[in-house]
Every structure is written in C-alpha cells, then in structure tokens.
Amino acid sequence: MNKWDEKAKNYTRYSPSLNTFEANVVKTLEKMGVDFKNKSVIDVGCGTGIYTIKIAKIAKSVVGIDFSINMLEALNEDCKKLNINNIKTRHSTWDDFKLNNQKFDIAICTMSPAVKTDGNIKKFHECAKIKIYLGWAGVRDCTILDELFLAHDAVYSAPNGAKRVKNWLETNKLKYKIENFEELKIKKRTYKEAIENFSWHLNVRGINPKINKVEKILKPLCDNAQNITEQTINKMDLFIWK
Ligand SMILES: C[S@@+](CC[C@H](N)C(=O)[O-])C[C@H]1O[C@@H](n2cnc3c(N)ncnc32)[C@H](O)[C@@H]1O
C-alpha cells in the first residue's frame, strides 16, 4: 500500500480558516506578488487540497496531481461539498505524469517529496511560467521522533527538499525569491493515532516499527484522557521563480 494512502486518513483537510502556518504562507505569497486570479495552476503532490482548494477559489482552473488515491478522494469529496468545479485531479507520480506540452501559468508544490530529483525539479520548472515551491528546510525538532528513531537504532533527520531546490536553481543560474518559515506545531492525538502516526514515520524511512518500543515511549506521554500532545519546531523555505 502507498504509505501516503495510510497518512490520508488523518491528514489535515481544507478549511476556510487556515491554520497559522498555512495563513502565513498564503499571506507571504500575496506579499511576494503572486496572484492566482484567473490563472491556470498545477499543484504537484496536492494531497487533500489544503492549498489547492484555496487557490481554486481564485484561479481559472487547477490540476491537482498526487500518487495517493486516498488523498485525492478526500480532495474530491471536499470539492463536492463546497461545490468547487474547477479542480481536475490526476492520480499519478510526478515522474509519470504526462504534460503533453501543456504549460500552466503557475506551478505549485507544497511540502511534497514529489518534486525531488534534478529531473523532477526541471520538469516542474518547465511546466509553468511562475513556480512556487514550499519545502522542508532540514529542521523538524520533535523529541518523540528522536527517541523513537534512537530506540530503533536510527537517527531521525528532517527532510530537506529546500536545499535540493536551492542547489538546482543556483546551478542553473536562475534568480529566485526566498522566505523562511519557522512553525511551532502543537498537535493532540489519541494514543492509537499517535502509535499510527509515529509508526508511519519509521515505516516511511524503511524502518519496521517494533510496537513494544513505540508503546514504551508513547504510553507515559498519555494524559488522563489517553491523548498525547506533541510539540514540533519545523523550518520550511518558500521559493518563487520565473
Ligand atoms: C505532506 S503531503 C503535502 C500535501 C499538500 N501539498 C499540502 O501542502 O498539504 C505530501 C503529498 O505528496 C504526495 N506525493 C509524494 N510523493 C509523490 C510523487 N512522487 N508523485 C506525486 N505525489 C506524491 C503524497 O501522496 C502526499 O499527498
């Protein structure tokens, strides 16, 4: 099973009131002069459509690509509820997706490993006039993750898609604008959800979670209602280029 299909079950969904981080991203895009009004947009690794739906409300049309069918089902379900008709979803990896010479006004990729290799970044660069990339910048400070990885004889390191994109842009001598974000994320989950979530992080990095080790770390963190509140400090970079 695609690991992102599992993640889709509890992944954040679009809400008109974005959380502080998402609202900050949207505000920063406006500040950086991005205007989605009447534009054709491609959202690569769109997930449940937190940004896709927000953009579709302003844009002419949006194509959302994702290789997780469950993520796309959530997105389509929300579009139906909200009566949004200008989003087309495509179930594909970014590698396999056929552009057929189509060129968009804006391409966006947020927090997705879909745009990863030099080839992926080049394809992303060539498919639109304006490119927006928001990605991990190598910091996800979370004591629980650190402890869990150590218990599995591994070291957790946060993804760093931002570094790859920056290197690619600089190698190709392309001018870009960049904004840095820091987020303090506080998330409450039930004990069961926390086990699923942290096991997922091990799984996605090819580590088989040992349930006794996961439980040994998580159980003492439960409050009286058997919930676990995790705090994470994340760093992300936002790039815009033509
Ligand atoms: C962390 S989620 C981000 C979703 C959304 N962009 C957001 O900001 O909320 C990453 C998404 O990228 C998708 N994804 C990962 N690798 C991909 C690939 N190679 N091709 C297409 N989608 C991919 C996953 O299925 C998942 O929905």
For the chain, what are the domain ranges?
A: 3-139+157-182+236-241
Q: Report whether residue 124 contacts ligand 1, using a CB cutoff of 6 Å.
A: no
* b (16+ CB within 10 A) / e for 29-62: beeeebebeebbbbbbbbbbbbbbbbbbeebebb
Q: Is the CB of 93 under 6 A from ligand 1?
A: yes
| Collapsed DSSP state (helix, strand, coil) of residue 30 | helix
Amino acid at 158: A
Q: Which of 108, 3, 125, 97 lies closest to 49 in space, CA to CA? A: 108
CA distances, 185 to each of 71, 209, 229, 231, 232 (Å): 22, 24, 10, 6, 5
Q: What residue type is 225 in one-letter code?
A: A
Lay out the sheet containing 104-110: strands in order across.
87-91, 61-66, 40-44, 104-110, 128-141, 227-241, 176-190
- 87, 75 Cβ separation under 8 angstroms: yes
* Whole-number pLDDT of residue 142: 97
Q: What pLDDT sits at residue 166?
A: 98
- Tokens linked to 225: 């209602």
**Residue with the nearest Cα to atom 18 of ligand 1?**
114
- Distance, in Å, from the CA atom of 185 to the CA atom of 112, rounded to the nearest integer, reads 18
Q: Which residue do the tokens 């844009």 mark?
A: 59
- Tell me, in angstroms, the distance from the centre of ligand 1 to residue 58's CA: 22
Choose among 198, 84, 64: nearest CA to 143. 198
> How far is 78 from 101, CA to CA, in rounded Å?
30
Whole-model pTM: value is: 0.96
- Looking at residue 224, what is its pLDDT? 97
pLDDT at 26: 95
96: helix, coil or strand?
A: coil
User: Using CA positions, which residue lies closest to atom 4 of ligand 1?
Assistant: 47
The label of the residue with tokens 């989950």 reads 189
pLDDT of residue 29: 97
* 132, two tokens: 């927006």
Using a 6 Å cutoff on CB, does residue 28 contact ligand 1? no
| Ligand 1 and 64: CB distance under 6 A | no
User: Architecture of 3-139+157-182+236-241 per CATH?
Assistant: 3-Layer(aba) Sandwich (3.40)
Quote the pLDDT of residue 182: 95
Q: Consecutive sets of 10 residues in the chain, 242 residues long: mean pLDDT of each?
A: 91 93 95 97 98 98 98 98 98 97 97 97 98 98 97 97 98 98 95 96 96 98 97 97 98
**Could you tell me if the CB of 94 is within 6 A of ligand 1?**
yes
What local confidence, expressed as pLDDT, does residue 200 receive?
96
Q: Are 92 and 65 in contact (CB under 8 A)?
A: yes
Measured CA to CA in angstroms, residue 141 lies from 15, 35, 70, 144, 214 at distances of 26, 33, 28, 9, 18
